[in-house]
Amino acid sequence: MSEINDSINLDDTDKKIVSLLKSNARNSVSKISEIINLSVPATSDRIKKLEDLDIIKGYKAVINSRKIGLDLSALITVISESSSNYEKIIDFVNQTDEIVECFATTGRGSHILMVETRNTGSLEKLLRKIQSWPNVIRTETQIILSNNKILKTSK
């Protein structure tokens, strides 16, 4: 978990680099350096610094899940007895391919899981697996009908 006051003040140039990479992680260092009006080595050093500070945590492809047969997306709220098995739950999450994101939350549930499965049958199988985790009392599932805010990317 992150600490409460772990934010880092970025200058305008670093903010611009983050914005450019967020909108298109495939932007080349030379293209970024041209846009921000710095040399390629200086831009490269700044990107490396942002990575070292864990501001840039990684680079990933945004996949159209339906095109690869994952037609059902859902949010699953995990309701557990206590937080005593928090680490075990995180281990299970990291071992389960269908879980694409996991959020520790306040409120009724301890975690909200974003999952992608092939169909309702595979979702049901996943739910049974999650419900067998230590201290899990029950789950609540919301099937996602559509995504109205798509991550902006450039090809």
| DSSP annotation of 19 | H
CATH code of 133's domain: 3.30.70.920
- Using an 8 Å Cβ cutoff, are 92 and 131 in contact? no
Give the pLDDT score at 2: 46
Helices (H) and strands (E) in the chain, counts: 5, 4
CATH code of 46's domain: 1.10.10
How many other β-carbons are positioned within 10 Å of the β-carbon of residue 64?
8
As a whole number, mean pLDDT of residues 85-108 equals 90
On whether residue 116 sits in a domain, the answer given is yes
What mean pLDDT, rounded, does the chain reach? 90
Structure tokens belonging to residue 116 = 């992608």
On whether residue 18 sits in a domain, the answer given is yes
On whether residue 4 sits in a domain, the answer given is no
Q: Which among 51, 45, 53 is positioned nearest to 29, based on CA atoms? A: 45
Give the pLDDT score at 108: 85
130 and 93 in one domain? yes
137 and 69 in one domain? yes
Kindly report the backbone phi and psi dihedral angles of residue 112, in degrees, each rounded to the nearest multiple of 5, phi listed first.
-120, 125
Give the pLDDT score at 135: 86
Q: Which residues form the domain of 125?
A: 65-144
Question: Three-state SS for 38?
Answer: coil
Q: Which pTM value belongs to this model?
A: 0.77
